[in-house]
Amino acid sequence: MHKRSYAQSLADLKSRGIRLTPQRQVILQFLKETHEHPTAEQVYQKIGEQFPGISLATVYNTLNMLKELGVIREMSYGDESSRYDGNDTEHAHLVCQSCNHVIDIPCPSEEVLVSPEMEALGFAIGSYRLEFYGTCASCRSGKVEHAS
């Protein structure tokens, strides 16, 4: 399944009767069009360029609303700031332990998730989060080239 575009997500939200202020639209568009996985503070800084009067509370409230509606995903890492992912499809992540850069990758085959072993446990998976930790190519080469 391909990630829903900004236009598809916007149309979905409108059809569900969600009020979409210009600020909400810009936040949604930013998350749907970036390959990065920004924190709320990074979203606030980026959106603040277009909406200087926007508050951090508005950004947090919008991110929470979009997450609850299933349009974006929140990735939390213990005490660190959560990151937000505009890719609303099932996928896995590569997480650099040196610079914290996160990269989307396709999921392993669904046979792993719907296996006889899972059925024997009587566990029905609704969603999952799969992450691989290591060091990205930029950090290994000593050249950090990405934003997050």
- Which CATH number applies to 6-85? 1.10.10.10
Evaluate whether 6-85 and 92-141 have a shared fold.
Answer: no
pLDDT in tens, 19-63: 999 999 999 999 999 999 999 999 999 999 888 989 999 999 999
pLDDT in tens, 88-120: 888 889 999 998 889 998 886 666 666 777 778
Query: What DSSP character marks residue 110?
Result: T
Rounded distance, CA 89 to CA 132, Å?
17
pTM, full prediction: 0.80
Whether residue 40 contacts residue 84, with contact meaning beta carbons closer than 8 Å, is answered with yes
C-alpha distances (whole Å) from 62 to each of 37, 65, 96, 113 are 16, 5, 27, 32
Question: What are the residue boundaries of the structural domains of the chain, listed by start?
Answer: 6-85, 92-141
**What is the predicted pLDDT for the residue at 44?**
97
Q: Which of 79, 78, 109 is nearest to 92 (CA)?
A: 109
Whether residue 66 contacts residue 14, with contact meaning beta carbons closer than 8 Å, is answered with no
Helix (H) or strand (E) holding 120: helix 116-121
**What is the architecture of the domain spanning 92-141?**
2-Layer Sandwich (3.30)
Burial class (CB in 10 A: 0-12, 13-18, 19+), 111: exposed
**What is the predicted pLDDT for the residue at 121?**
83
